[in-house]
A and B are shown apart, each in its own frame.
Chain A
Amino acid sequence: MKSCPNKAIYKTDEGIVLIDESKCMGCQYCEWACPYGALTLDKDKGIMTKCTLCYDYLAEGREPACVAACPMRVLEVGDLDELERKYGKHDNIFPLPPVHHTNPSIIIKKHPSAGKSKGWKIINKEEV
């Protein structure tokens, strides 16, 4: 949000970060600045896109599509304080960026292998 020269990236009252398509010029600077790789270029439209957390579904009281579709039921969406009470704070997890840098609004229960940040490599790039 701070990097975007056009102020095309904004946060809703619910804390969802969205892109104003009418302002984005497709410079891709946000793609460099985002350590989650959340922003990608829509080549057809010439603008950046990202997950919207299915804000329209949420407004209707429905779950985001990914939460509803997950066969293992590992995804949950809700108020961050409530989720933190339930699952604890987000920790530094490889290969995600350091918590002190991003202060993320996400909680992931750490897999035992995810703590070994040094020397680990991702080989299945297409799946990440």
Chain B
Amino acid sequence: MLNTEWSLVFFTTISQLAVGIMIAVLPFVFAKKLNQYAKLNQTTLYCAAGLMLIALILSFLHLNNPVNAIYALSNLETSWLSREIFFVSLFLFSLVLVNLILYFKNPDVNYYRAFILITTIVGVIMVYSMSKLYVIPTVPPWNSVSTIIEFYSTALLIGSAFVLGLSFHYGMRVKNEIHPGNKNNIISLITLIAIAMIIINELFLGHTATEGNVAFEPQPLDTSIMVTRWLTLLLGAISLLYVIVKKGRLTNMRLAFYLPFAFFLISELIARAAFYASFYRIGL
């Protein structure tokens, strides 16, 4: 159906999910009553590390000669792919280290916050390097700021939806409401900002910076693919609103908390598959 790079679709989406999770958990990490969120934060960190490990394995599936991956950091000065590989490795290393420190030691709260914040910053830089490697002048559909925004909006959308589901899952039921309401509002806001970024990006920011002869015209994408992408995004938004409004009454069916995340994930996977399928090159 779609001629795309499936290993890269899953690698980029899953690693961006890990970064999004780290961003979305920050309000809980910097909350005054930190102990209240200890389980949520710990689960989130485990998930982020596990996801990055899966992403790294998937990235190797794209390589035709993975043995030579040991040379992949040779060209940090000019190759964005080299930089991406560096930051992917650093982010995973940092996540594993933070998890190990938190598992075996109980660090001071300031160190705890600093470790998580630094790891998140590494992740944010990783997404930037990951997006920049596609912004190349030979590929018109990718050579725009839209690619960078797309990668960040994916991270924010699915990361925040996942943490929101998790926080509702672990939240305590207090008078038909799920505690803590204020933190969940911040996370919901991140999700809504990400949706707005996706819509603005799609409507206004896709102009390519490349001009040049194109020998082989690209095959247009099947309309049904993009219809499915926007429909799942809409369903995600509707289910998000439903969960926010009805959260107190959903405590007996906790899987429902992850419904927005599931829709958003499907939507972003389709969008990413379409991104790779849109490839064509100037010249020959």
Contact = CB atoms under 8 A, between A and B. Distances in A.
Interface of A: 2-8, 22-29, 32-37, 41, 43, 45-47, 92, 94-98, 101-102, 117, 121-122, 125, 128
Contacts of A122: 215-216
The 4 nearest A-B residue pairs measured at CB: A26-B64, A35-B283, A97-B283, A95-B215
Nearest to A5: B82
Interface in B248-284: 279, 281-284
A25 B283 contact: no
Q: B-side binding surface: helix, strand, loop or mixed?
A: loop
18 contacts: A6-B75, A6-B82, A25-B65, A25-B69, A26-B68, A27-B81, A29-B133, A32-B139, A33-B136, A35-B284, A37-B283, A47-B64, A96-B213, A96-B284, A97-B282, A97-B284, A122-B216, A128-B284
Contacts of B133: 29
Interface in B92-148: 133, 136-139
Chain B: interface residue count, which band?
A: 35 or more
B71 A36 contact: no
A117 B136 contact: no
Nearest to A102: B283
A29 B211 contact: no
B65 A97 contact: no
Contacts, number: 119
A32 B215 contact: no
Interface of B: 62-69, 71-75, 78-82, 85, 133, 136-139, 211-217, 279, 281-284
Contacts of B279: 32
B71 A117 contact: no
Given A7-B75, A26-B63, A46-B65, A95 B283 contact: yes
A95 B284 contact: yes
A36 B69 contact: no
A2 B65 CA distance: 20
A2 B76 CA distance: 10
B136 A32 contact: yes
Q: A-side binding surface: helix, strand, loop or mixed?
A: loop
B212 A98 contact: yes
Given A29-B81, A33-B136, A37-B284, A7 B74 contact: yes
Contacts of B214: 95
Given A96-B284, A128-B215, A5 B65 contact: no
B63 A25 contact: yes
B216 to A, nearest CB: 6
A97 B139 CA distance: 11
Contacts of A33: 136, 138
A31 B218 CA distance: 16
Contacts of A95: 213-215, 283-284
A102 B74 CA distance: 24
Contacts of B66: 25
A36 B74 contact: no
Contacts of A29: 79, 81, 133
A74 B66 CA distance: 41
Contacts of A6: 68, 71-72, 74-75, 82
Given A32-B136, A96-B284, A97-B213, 8 more contacts: A5-B82, A6-B68, A7-B74, A47-B64, A95-B283, A101-B212, A101-B282, A102-B283
